[in-house]
Amino acid sequence: MSTVTNPILPGCYPDPSICRVGEDYYLVTSTFEYLPGLPVLHSRDLVTWETIGHVVHRPGQLDYTGIASSGGLYAPTIRHHDGLFWVICTLVGQPQGNPGGNFLMTATDPAGPWSDPMWLDADGIDPSIFFDDDGRIWVHGTRLAREPEWFHQTEVWIRELDPETKKLTGPEHVVWSGAVKGAVWAEAPHLYKVDGTYYLMAAEAGTEFHHAESIAQAEVVTGPYTGTRGNPILTHRHLGRQHPVVGAGHADLVEAADGSWWAVLLAMRTYGGYHYPLGRETFLVPVVWEDGWPVFAPGVGKVPDEVEVPFATGPARGSAQGLASGVVAPDDLRWTAVRALPAEVATPAGQGWDLPLRAATLDSLEVPAFLGVRLQHTHADFLARVTVDLAVGEEVGVVVRQSEKDHARLAVTRGGTGLVARAVHRQRDEDREVGSAPVADGPLTLAVRARGVDLELLVASGDAEPVVVGTVPATDLDTVATGGFLGLWLGVYATSDGAETSTVAHVEVTYTPAS
């Protein structure tokens, strides 16, 4: 038996979906505007997880042109059927005329390669897919109700999928609008068949404080569905905003090989008041069935801090890939870029990257020269060693990124008297300098030091010890303060601010959890 500490995927791993194939578990999460998209994680015991690939992993699979922060890939579902892995998802925020909406991708190997998208004629978000034991395939999702009874009422629809054409066919059935009258955003629907009964599980009330998970059952897949009197079957809203874990919901069920049941779901850990800079994270909860309904965290009724997994024989504490301390080499699957793949904006070079400066800046909707990783700890050090010969007007730096409109960066630029480092807080699309320091020519050390709510921006030249140039509160950058759906990213960037250039920065990065 092993014990896993929640969350099982710390940092911004929202909207988890899981499936089991034999003794292997596979999990995917949302990635929004970051690429590669939709990480595929593998585990043998639900305790230790490793990223083995991504669903969106090559140029041209999806068009991210013009997608703003908190747009992009929403709420994937992963399933396995007849030797094939299926992921169904939504691409949100595409400018008019570009492909977007709900799509399917398939692969024989979950590590990839994955197919190009097969677009579905269905509106809304959060699609899921269900393979019935009679061979029929059902796609379901959520959208704003066509004839709403209240503001932001949503409805869950279901429609058959032709297995040959991968097109929706036959009539559409609207089967659910949530367990609570007046509740908004019945979303993340998943269908299951247990002991001959169909179950429709969905989150509702929005993916914030009032988030809740509810369930209904039916005798036939197209309904009618009747909810349990015990709805919601999981929520933390009754615990108040002082509880250290809030927003529990968006769950997916899986039956283990030993017959036990489990759920993965999202929730947020708060610190610095009602704020969650790490974003929506993935948690594990045990489930039992009583009187024909699932019971989450029996005897506890909330997301537990630790979960004992009887069939796990791994380490005492579970972990996701990405928690390792030290150098983040180019082949590390933690690397992401914005609206492009890391290899499209930089070239691997030794233990680091050659990062050509781009005209795009961090506040634009173009593709910036940016490479980043999720912030996964309340206390961590992100350190970039940079070698570059900047021309006047060019900029290289590190950034704590929430979006184009909200981020904190340490920007090194060359002026008439030499290099200068400026700590800049971009808030609601406006820059405010919070500190500056001169910098000597030579190799640079640029760093972000996260210490709870304090995000310190540091600089040094040569072998000198880095000094703090400015500090920005993490509570000014999380989604409670800024909106959107993302946790914070730590990254390195380089820009010529619109000018043509041939300058290339060489960067090597370490990420180290701190006590």
Q: Are 276 and 268 spatial neighbours (Cβ–Cβ below 8 Å)?
A: yes
pLDDT per residue as tens digits for the range 189-218: 999 999 999 999 999 999 999 999 999 999
pLDDT for 119-168, tens place per residue? 999 999 999 999 999 999 999 999 999 999 999 999 999 999 999 999 99
Residue numbers annotated as active site: 15, 187
Q: Which CATH number is correct for 24-239, 3.30.70.100, 3.40.50.1000, 3.40.50.620, 2.115.10.20?
A: 2.115.10.20
The 3 state secondary structure assigned to 144-203 is ECCCCCCCCCEEEEEEEECCCCCCEEEEEEEEECCCCCCCCCCEEEEEEEECCEEEEEEE
Beta carbons of 347 and 341 less than 8 angstroms apart: no
State yes or no: pLDDT of 240 exceeds 80: yes
Tokens standing for 408? Answer: 């904190």
Residue 332, pLDDT above cutoff 80: yes
CA–CA separation, 266 and 190 (whole Å): 15
For 326-513, CATH gives 2.60.120.200
For the chain, give the mean pLDDT: 95
Buried b (16+ CB within 10 A) or exposed e, 231-252: bbbbbbbeeeeeeebbbbbbbb
pLDDT for 451-469, tens place per residue? 999 999 999 999 999 999 9
Could you tell me the two tokens for 204?
Answer: 């509702």
* C-alpha distance from residue 176 to each of 35, 217, 224, 273 (Å): 33, 11, 9, 35
pTM above 0.85, yes or no: yes
Rg (CA), the chain: 23
Rounded to whole angstroms, how far apart are CA atoms 155 and 133?
A: 25
Separation of alpha carbons 232 and 229, rounded Å: 8
User: Given this model, what pLDDT does residue 324 score?
Assistant: 58
Q: Would you give the end-to-end CA distance of the chain in angstroms? A: 28
How many other CB atoms are found less than 10 A from the CB of residue 384?
27
In angstroms, rounded to a whole number, what is the distance separating the alpha carbons of residues 160 and 130? 9
Q: Which residue has the tokens 């409805």?
A: 155
Q: Where are the domains of the chain?
A: 24-239, 326-513
| Residues 273-297: b if buried by 16+ CB within 10 A, e if exposed | eebbbbbbbbbbbbbeeeeebbbbb
